[in-house]
Structure formats: structure tokens, C-alpha cells
Amino acid sequence: MGIPTAPMVTIAFKDLAKTNAANRGMPDERICFTPHPVWGKTDAQMYAYLEGNDPVTGKPLMKEVVDALTQPLTADEKKTGTVTPPIGPPVYVDTFDNLQQYYMDNGMTDFMPIILPTKEKVDAMLKGTSHAPDEPVGQLTPARGAFPPWSFNVRQVAINAVMAGARPEYFPIILALASSGQSALFSSTNSLVYAAVINGPIRDKLNMNYGIGAMGPFAQPNATIGRAWTLFSKNLCNGGLAGQTYMGSQGNVINYSNLVIPEDEKDSPWTPLHVQKGFKATDNVVSLFFGFGIQQGQGGWGLGIKPIPHYHEAMACNTIPFATIFGALVVCDPLVASGLVEQGFKTKEQLADWLQKNSTATVKNLRSSLFSRPPMGPAAAGLTDESVVPKWPRPDAFNFVVVGGETNPYHQIANMSYRMSVSIDKWA
């Protein structure tokens, strides 16, 4: 753009920064590097970084910054251009074992065996939709603004659906996920994950499990739909390359197949999630959530030590450690949902309103938490560090899904925010 810049990056992201610049046509961008990490450092330690040397070049860091901003660009630095990712030949021919190894060695799998996407299997998968194989589906990137998005078509999604072990009748859900623009492998130093809540008659048509073990490895559609999301997030946007397009420090086991949650509309006393989001009850819809992960919650205080379970109080207690940059996706067993109705929460909206008011923290705790937002502006007037305030400013931070086999009055809560709802019927 002709504007002098001096991007500053910590040494831990050296390869990522240089690769990203090269992929955007700037292989000689003047990147200045600091030691790592910067989190948890005192002001004195941070000033020592600035007053020290660039750990890559060995030059004084601030002189390097000034030079980057003031010295004329060389001929090489002025070069621009873009990189087109290779797609390889249309067909590979080899033995079964060699092809399995080829896919694995080239980062196209989740490092578990795949179903080889032969032409016959891909053609069969394409029969699961009325859309043409070469029709564009959308774009994906591991992180918007950080990596250029890739475009892809129906056939390319079908290849990944075959690899995941999905059946053609699952394909409309997988296409809906692909069309959302949400990569299941998000590039962040936090090990973030996605969830997909599925509503509508398609749950029973596909025999999706929303009973006992619904979020476990106990049903083919649940497992393979989620796995397909991971695989096309690797292959259709270059995601999931540890150290390059994926930076989660510890990773997350949920990334293998994501959280796939078909809502138990039959046994729920409440309005289904997709109807809350503006769809008809007969519509087939997938709703996406994004955040840190999910944790087990108790049915009530002390697992029933009290004669009457206080489900809502337990939920408020379980959200105390949650980061407020994300909301709370509360997954209730039908026993819990029915119990909450008996306690007066006739709708999900009533429960969300109560939880928003009663999931609280002190202003001091919110201010000291890296991922929480203390009250700002007029809302902060008259508050002290010890003032107790709601952690989330609005009830819509809470969403509820009913699923489970009624063997125990449990709930689980995901520290995840609602992203969007996508029509599955559009891709049938």
C-alpha cells in the first residue's frame, strides 16, 4: 500500500508471520520480533524487551523499528503478488495402504484412518443433494483477517464427507456446515472449539442419537457429521496446521469431531432452539456455537443431598469460572428441563433472565480476569471493586438445548457463544 510499517511479532510466531507475509505476496516484509511470551510480564520486563535486541536479527529492536519506518524500500521489498495453493492431480492411483499413508503424510486427515474417496463413493455422496457438483458452496479461512479465504464447491465437500465415513443422507447437514463460513479449526493460541445443534425432522430421519450418550461416540450420523466438519476445515482452507494455521497451545480433543448435539424436541418442555432463532418447527436447521469447551454440571446442590434439586442455582454456580467473552450453552437432560419447569421456569427465556441476573462476580474479579469484561460507561457509575454485578450484560448470553437419556438429572455447560443458524433444507 506504500505505507511504511513495522509489524511486531513475538519470536514464537516467527514462522507463522513470515509464511503469512509470503502467502500475501510480501516475502520481504520488515517484521520486527520480540521475545516470547508477553502475557504475565511486568512493565519492567516488557520495557526490557523493547530496550533489548530482536531475537531473530540480533539488532537493537527499537532501532530496527525506526529503520523499518524510515528507510526506503529495496527493489525486492517492493515486489507484490499472491500464492495460488496447489490442488494436485484429479486422480491418484496406488494401493489402499499407500493411499492411506499419502493422505496422512500430506496433512489431509485427522491422523486416523479415512474412507478413501473413490470416484464411486464421491458420486454416491453427491446423490445426497440436488445441487450440482461444481456449484460454489462458500469460503473458509482458519481466521478472518489473518489468512486469505479459500473457495470450494459441492464436490470438494463431498470428498471430505466420504473421508469422514458419512452417508449420502447426511450430506445436506455437512453442506450447511460448510456454507456457514465457520472453520472448526480456528487459529488461536486458545484451544477453541465449535458445536453444532441440529433441529427438525431430519434428526429422526437419520436416526441421530439425542438419548443416552448423545454427545458420545454412539451413533454414526453424530460422529461422522462432526468429523467431516474437521476434515473439510483442514482441506478446504488449509486449517489445522499446527504452528502455522493452528496455534492452540494445548489443543482440544473436541476438535476431532466437534460437539454435535441433536436436540430432543420430543421430550423437551420448551421451545426448540431453531424456533427461538426464527425458523419453523418443521424446518431442518443447524445452529453453530463457538468458544472454550464444555464441562459437566451437577443436577442440583450436592447431587441431590437436598430433597428438592436446585437446578438453576447449580447452573449459576457452574458458570462462575466462565469467560464472559463467550456465553453459556446449557445442555439439559430432559429430567433437568422438566424439573426447571416445575420450579417455575416455563420457558427458556425465563431461565436465561434468571441466570443472567444471578450469575455474578465482583467488579474486581471481572477486571482482573483476562477474558471478562467489567461494567463500562454509565453502567459502572457508583460501583466499587467489591460491588457484585452480573457477569453477562444481557440474558441472550444463555442458550439452552435439551438432550439426554434421563438416566441422571445432569446438565453440561459449554462456555460458548451462539454464532448463527443455517438451513439444512437449502442443501437437500
DSSP string, 382-406: T--TT-EEESSSSGGGEEEEE---S
Q: Among 35-44, 193-202, 235-244, 353-362, which range has the highest average pLDDT?
A: 193-202
Looking from the CA of 370 toward its CB, the CA atoms found within 13 Å total 3
Residues 301 and 341 reside in one and the same domain? yes
Instruction: Give residue 381's pLDDT.
Output: 80
Same domain, residue pair 145 and 258:
yes
Q: How many CB atoms lie within 10 A of CB 399?
A: 22
- CB count in 10 Å sphere of residue 384: 8
Amino acid in the structure at residue 195: A
Q: Are residues 193 and 309 in the same domain?
A: yes
Q: Read off the pLDDT of residues 251-279 as tens digits, 9 standing for 90 and up.
A: 999 999 999 999 999 999 999 999 999 99
pLDDT band at 24 (very low <50, low <70, confident <90, very high): confident
Residue bearing the bigger pLDDT, 238 or 425: 425
How far, in Å, CA of 146 to CA of 245, rounded? 9
* Eight-state DSSP code of residue 150: E
Instruction: Place 312 in a pLDDT band, splitting at 50, 70 and 90.
Output: confident
Domain of 260, in residue numbers: 96-427
**CA gap 47, 6 in Å, rounded:** 18
Window from 120-129, 289-298, 352-361, 400-409 with minimum mean pLDDT:
289-298
Q: Which of 278, 323, 301 is nearest to 414 (CA)?
A: 323
Question: What is residue 309's predicted lDDT score, i.e. its pLDDT?
Answer: 57
Mark whether 290 and 386 lie in a shared domain: yes
Q: Is 96 in contact with 116 (CB distance < 8 Å)?
A: yes
> Residue 165 has what pLDDT?
98
- Separation CA 148–CA 141 (nearest Å): 6
Which of 273, 259, 355, 349 lies closest to 311, judged by CA?
355
326 and 207 in a common domain: yes
In a domain, 389, yes or no: yes
Asked whether the predicted pLDDT for residue 308 surpasses 50, the reply is: no
Let me know if residue 305 belongs to a domain.
yes
Neighbours of 265 (CB within 10 A): 21
Residue 87 lies in a domain: no
C-alpha cell at 81: 503478488
* Together in a domain, 52 and 105: no
pLDDT at 302: 42
Instruction: Say if CB 332 and CB 408 are below 8 A apart.
Output: no
Mark whether 154 and 265 lie in a shared domain: yes
Domain count, the chain: 2
Last residue within a domain, chosen from 70, 105, 121: 70
- 17 and 125 inside one domain: no
Cβ neighbours of residue 126 closer than 8 Å, sequence gap 6 or more: 133, 154, 155, 158, 168, 171
pLDDT given for residue 84 in this prediction: 63
Is 383 exposed, middle or buried (CB count within 10 Å of its CB: 0-12, 13-18, 19+)? middle
Which pLDDT belongs to residue 177?
A: 98
Cβ atoms of 416 and 397 within 8 Å: the answer is no
**Any domain includes 103:** yes
The whole-number pLDDT of residue 305 equals 42
Q: Mark whether 130 and 256 lie in a shared domain.
A: yes
Residue 306 lies in a domain: yes
Average pLDDT, the chain: 91
CA atoms of 361 and 177, how far apart (whole Å): 36
Residue 65 has pLDDT above 90, yes or no: yes
Q: Is residue 207 part of a domain?
A: yes
Residues 231 and 384: their CA atoms lie apart, in Å, by 49
Domain assignment present for 88: no
Question: 437419556: which residue's cell?
Answer: 405
What percent of the chain has a predicted confidence (pLDDT) above 90? 70
What is the arithmetic mean of pLDDT over 173-185?
97
Mean pLDDT of 65-91: 81
Whether 2 is covered by a domain: the verdict is: no
Asked if residue 368 and residue 221 are part of one domain, the reply reads yes
| Whether residue 83 has pLDDT greater than 70 | no
**Same-domain check for residues 109 and 54:** no
Quick one: 267 and 403 in the same domain? yes
Angle between helices 334-342 and 311-318 (to 10 degrees): 120
Region 357-368 average pLDDT: 87
Q: Is the pLDDT of residue 299 over 70?
A: no
Q: Are 183 and 231 in contact (CB under 8 A)?
A: no
Say if residues 172 and 130 touch (Cβ distance below 8 Å). no
